Amino acid sequence: MCGILGLLLHDPTVNVAAEIAEGLSLLQHRGQDACGIITCGPKGRFYQCKANGMVRDIFDDSSIARLIGGMGVGHVRYPTAGSFNNAEAQPFYVNSPYGIVFAHNGNLINTSSLMQFMDQVSHRHINTASDSELLLNIFADNLQKTGKFRINEEDIFTAIGGVVSQCKGAYACVAMLAGFGIIAFRDPNGIRPVGMASRKTANGEGSDYIFASESVVADACGFTDWEDVKPGEAVIITRNGVSRRQVSSPSTLAPDIFEYVYFARPDSVIDGVSVYRSRMAMGDVLAEKVKRVLAENNLTVDVVIPVPDTSRVAALNLAQRLALPYREGFIKNRYVGRTFIMPGQQMRKKNVRRKLNAMALEFADKNVLLVDDSIVRGTTSKEIVQMAKDVGAKKVIVASCAPPIRYPNVYGIDMPSRKELVAYGRNEVEIAKAIGADLVVFQSLPDLVESVRHLNTSINAFDCSVFTGDYITGGVTEEYLQHVEGLRSDNNRLKLNLDTNVLQSDVVNGYPNGHAAESGPPSSTAGLDDSVGLHNTWKSN
Ligand SMILES: O=P(O)(O)OC[C@H]1O[C@H](OP(=O)(O)OP(=O)(O)O)[C@H](O)[C@@H]1O
Ligand SMILES: NC(=O)CC[C@H](N)C(=O)O
Ligand SMILES: [Mg+2]
């Protein structure tokens, strides 16, 4: 998952970068690996700062001060294609036509044929393994086809229509054209979120506009009238106003249900559904199932304990429903981020222990019910069950607000390999054994769907592919899944990272093996970027 953001201020003389950095910090939970901002200043000049690292590490007063201009695009990255190399940090830039900046959340599923098209038909060079760079170039190619000296809104809608007909998969995108404006569009199923909001300027004479993955950014930055970009819709914002157009038909909204389970912040509203309310409902319905399963197994529970952070909301409701005490038995180290989106199993495993500490006084001699939002690889549950037992829990029961995850995600969540999923090839008894629990209780899929859908009954479908293996876009064959598995399983990815490091650092930064990332701007970078009119603010990581 990634976070995307676009901001256009009514007054072009006010710099936008500080506010974009602020907004990106509110999207940090969507991607912790890399982040970046590109702004557009006088004469359509772009200024960029992007690198591997968290928002607070990459952006400080001096890097922000160098990002000039009243409109810009930002991104936080959780890699789901390509590598972890900082050359794949977003936003991406391409000079032709018109100067385009691009940020993407999601994942394409037809990259091989698009790459072939780029090579054989468009003759455009793609310099990284990122599907987002590819998507940008498909967009650029479609803009090029208009053949105009100066482009207008109609041309942009036509170009995005072309992108949508060529690209398969999940994509919520924010783009910026030099000296023109900012643009957002969403795939025909609206799998990934993006919305927009506005804010009157202090003198009331005009409006600032924001695009963001989640409404929390708009709330916190003082924007109102949040509206989702519709599936298959494109929105263009210039200083003359807002234009919207449905560029794909048919378009059927089918957001990824995992946004509600885990990814989004609870205080966001996505496609008209409060994430917070949906998690409360997940806890309520799960309580009924837990009650039934406990009775079937002749078990009783003394205390309900959430697994911080995401499951807290659901766990509290579940405890209330069952009239059981709710206790914060695991204390979270607030300085450790989300473990699921960390790269590599070793790092994830180590960080569960760094992040959570079990308080014996809540566990000793008790039957405890641990509630989590989901069990994916089982990294978290395996560790916390052991921790609970280490501090004296009698019986440990684990309840998950989501059903067992047995299929890979191909739309922008990094779970590419079936073998890494703890529920793959296991029934519930075997899953309990694998994570060391006495019993495990999973939410049913209909209950999960209803927890979200009852908050907006106009949504007729969700992408639930990780639970069912039915991929909403179609076109995901067993052969494709095996291809992705081969490319991105934990082991194979390490290899990919090493391979791409050399190529990208050589070509882009003029330094072998990513030295640029350690030692600041190599002189050749300045030369390269001057030639494309892009001003870099490099940060080490
Ligand atoms: O079975 P796993 O592979 O461990 O994945 C599932 C766990 O990972 C996530 O937590 P994470 O620490 O990422 O974030 P959180 O603090 O928002 O709960 C999620 O909330 C589950 O706890
Ligand atoms: N999680 C995402 O949305 C990632 C976007 C893109 N596929 C990348 O890997 O950079
Ligand atoms: Mg968690």
Ligand 1 pocket, 262 CB below 6 A? yes
State the Cα–Cα distance between residues 238 and 330, nearest whole angstrom.
Answer: 48
Q: Give the distance between the most distant pair of CA atoms in the chain.
A: 75
pLDDT per position as a tens digit, 105-137: 999 999 999 999 999 999 999 999 999 999 999
For residue 32, which amino acid is it?
A: Q
pLDDT tens for 87-107 read 999 999 999 999 999 999 999
CA angle 56, 131, 217 (to 5 degrees): 35
pLDDT in tens, 343-389: 888 889 889 989 999 999 999 999 999 999 999 999 999 999 999 99
Distance CA 527, CA 536 (A): 11
Contacts from 240-247 at CB under 8 Å and sequence distance 24+?
A: 242/196, 242/209, 243/153, 243/157, 245/157, 247/157, 247/160, 247/161, 247/164, 247/185
Selected residue with higher pLDDT from 510 and 73: 73
Report in angstroms the alpha-carbon separations of 296 from 324, 403, 444.
18, 19, 17
pLDDT of residue 40: 98
Complete DSSP assignment for 117-138 = HIIIII-----SS-HHHHHHHH
Tell whether ligand 1 has an atom less than 6 A from the beta carbon of residue 401.
no
The protein residue with its alpha carbon nearest to ligand 1, atom 9, reads 340
Q: Is domain 3-253 given the CATH code 3.60.20.10 in the classification?
A: yes
pLDDT for position 517: 32
Q: Which amino acid is at 205?
A: E
Please, which pLDDT band fits residue 538 given cuts at 50, 70 and 90?
Answer: very low
List C-alpha distances in Å: 300 to 93, 292, 395.
58, 11, 9
If you search the block for the tokens 């009157």, which residue do you land on?
200
Q: Hey, how many other C-beta atoms are within 10 angstroms of the C-beta on 31? A: 26
The per-residue pLDDT for 512 is 26
* Mean pLDDT value across residues 145-172: 96
Numbered residues of the known binding site for Mg(2+) = 310, 372-373
- Residue 373 C-alpha to ligand 1 middle, in angstroms? 8
How is domain 270-488 classified at the architecture level of CATH? 3-Layer(aba) Sandwich (3.40)
What pLDDT does residue 213 have? 98
Tell me the C-alpha to C-alpha distance, in Å, between residue 274 and each of 215, 271, 278, 456.
10, 8, 6, 9
- Tell which atom from ligand 1 comes closest to the C-alpha of 307: 22
pLDDT of residue 249: 87
Would you list the DSSP string of 235-298? EEEETTEEEEEE-SSS-----BTHIIIIIS-TT-EETTEEHHHHHHHHHHHHHHHHHHHHHHTT
DSSP 513: G
Report the distance separating Cα 297 and Cα 74, nearest Å: 51
Domain ranges of the chain: 3-253, 270-488, 490-520+525-535
Please give the pLDDT value at position 344. 85
C-alpha 147 to ligand 2 mean position (Å) = 30
Over the stretch 289-338, which tens digit does the pLDDT of each residue have? 999 999 999 999 999 999 999 999 999 999 999 999 999 999 999 999 99
Ligand 1 centre distance from Cα of residue 340 (Å):
5
Q: Name the one residue in this structure whose structure tokens are 């928002």.
A: 55
Q: Is the pLDDT of residue 511 over 50?
A: no
Is 130's C-beta closer than 6 angstroms to any atom of ligand 2? Answer: yes
Q: Is 384 in the pocket of ligand 2 (CB under 6 A)?
A: no
Q: Whose CA is nearest to atom 5 of ligand 1?
A: 376
Return the closest-CA partner of residue 210 out of 1, 412, 24: 24
338 C-alpha vs ligand 3 centroid, how far in Å?
7
Proximal ligand: closest to the CA of 75: 2
Among 324, 322, 424, 308, which residue's Cα sits nearest to residue 372? 308
The reply to whether ligand 2 has any atom less than 6 angstroms from the CB of 181 is no
Task: Name the residue at shortest CA distance from atom 10 of ligand 2.
Answer: 79
Burial class (CB in 10 A: 0-12, 13-18, 19+), 316: middle
- Whose atoms come closest to the Cα of 78: which ligand? 2
DSSP states along 23-71: HHHTTGGG--SEEEEEEE-GGG-EEEEEEES-HHHH--HHHHHT--SSE
- Centre of ligand 1 to C-alpha 338, Å, is 7
User: What mean pLDDT is predicted for residues 427-453?
Assistant: 98
Cα angle at 364 between 438 and 374, to 5 degrees? 45
| Dist. CA 239–CA 260, nearest whole Å | 34
Mean of pLDDT over the chain: 90
Nearest protein CA to atom 1 of ligand 2, as residue: 1
CA-nearest residue, atom 8 of ligand 2: 79
Question: Does the beta carbon of 376 lie inside 6 Å of ligand 1?
Answer: yes
Q: From the CB of 373, is ligand 1 less than 6 Å away? A: yes
Residue nearest atom 11 in ligand 1 by C-alpha distance? 338
261 lines ligand 1 (CB under 6 A): no
Q: Whose CA is nearest to atom 16 of ligand 1?
A: 309
What atom in ligand 1 is closest to the CA of residue 351? 12
| pLDDT band, very low/low/confident/very high, at 520 (cuts 50, 70, 90) | very low
The Cα 539–Cα 252 span in angstroms is: 41
Ligand nearest the Cα atom of residue 33: 2
**CA of residue 285 to ligand 3 center, whole Å:** 19
* Residue-level pLDDT at 21: 98
Nearest ligand 1 atom to alpha carbon 378: 1
Residues in the chain: 541
Residue 105, ligand 2, Cβ within 6 A: yes
> Contact 12/219 with Cβ under 8 angstroms?
no
- Report pLDDT digits (tens) over 13-34: 999 999 999 999 999 999 999 9
Interface pTM, i.e. ipTM? 0.98
Relative to the alpha carbon of 109, which ligand is closest? 2
Answer whether 414's CB lies under 8 Å from 455's CB. Answer: no
Ligand 2 neighbourhood includes 85 CB (under 6 angstroms): no
Report the separation in Å between the CA atom of 307 and the middle of ligand 3, taken as the mean of its atom positions.
6
Q: Point out the residues that are catalytic.
A: 2
pLDDT of residue 250: 83
| Residue pLDDT, tens place only, 190-224 | 999 999 999 999 888 899 999 999 999 999 999 99
Q: Quick check: 417 and 408 in contact, CB under 8 A?
A: yes
Q: Phi, psi (5° rounding) for residue 310?
A: -60, -30
